[in-house]
Amino acid sequence: MSVTPSSLRRAVRGPAALTALLAGVAVATAAGSPVQAAAPHQGRVPMHQCWINDVPAPPGDQVNGTDQDDHIFCDSDLEGVTVSGGGGNDMIEVRGLVIDSAVLGGEGNDVIRTKHLVPQTTFSMVRGNRGNDIIKVATVRGDGAKLGAVVHGDDGDDKITTGSVSGAPGQFNRGGGIVTGNDGADTIKTGVIDFSGRVLGGSEDDTIEAAGLGPESGGLIQAGPGDDKITGPGGAVLIVGEHWGTVDAGVGKDTCLVKSVSTRTSISSCETLPKETNSGGSQKPGGPKAAPGKNKR
């Protein structure tokens, strides 16, 4: 049965009638009185294809879990969408890109897995929120203060694994590419930190492992308060350079298995350092502050 108004059917027939409806223009009827179709949506509709506990999520810019343990699965890119697990111990999986979007675990011990963070017009973010969370993100690449790519562990003893971390921050050190554990004894494992990317441990005793630091441009590891350990993958020696890189272990009794291969690197606040430097010399364990030039080639 046709749902086209009879006045419109009299005035315009066939494909022209459909075109007029879709375009939302006024079409003159045979009697001369116009029929105004609905105005088209002015903005881009947020895109997602997500399920909450095997039930399709409604369209829009929000995908919200419940106060219970949820499984949220998105088999598409997220564009301008906020995914929130809510309460409970949630599993959130995003198979596509996280474009100008946020993925939030909410309260509970959550597991979050996403592909690349892609800030095109604003921030792209993953946050564990409160709880002992497990977070895995493909790459974290920001660009300035307004285009941040950020991974937050937040409260709890979190385990964060990412690929490369890159992107310089903007004014007031905001934005860029950053991974931070925040409060809790966190374990952070990343790919190469470069092009001014930053990894911050936060408070308590953190373990930070990176595949490299500043091989092409530069990067920062800042462990923060606590008895921290900074190494390469699996406890191997972390190479700092060949361009600039900064390791700041912070307050506490810290172990830094790092080796500088550049005169432009800075390594400080490490109480324990490797005995062998890149040049074959010896490095004595430092005090609260190891002078930036002592462990360089």
Predicted confidence (pLDDT) per residue in 100-149, tens digit: 999 999 999 999 999 999 999 999 999 999 999 999 999 999 999 999 99
DSSP structural state of residue 76: S
Q: Contact at 8 Å (CB) between 145 and 173?
A: no
The pLDDT of residue 152 is above 80: yes
CA 25 to chain centroid: 42
Q: Provide the token pair at 114.
A: 């996403």
Best CA proximity match to 159, nearest among 138, 183, 185:
185
What pLDDT sits at residue 45? Answer: 65
Distance CA 297, CA 280 (A): 9
Cis peptide before 242 (omega within 30 of 0): yes
pLDDT of residue 54 exceeding 70, the answer is: yes
Q: What is the mean pLDDT of residues 206-229?
A: 97
Burial class (CB within 10 angstroms; exposed 0-12, middle 13-18, buried 19+) of 289? exposed
Work out the number of other CB atoms within 10 angstroms of the CB of residue 66.
14
Predicted structure pTM score: 0.79
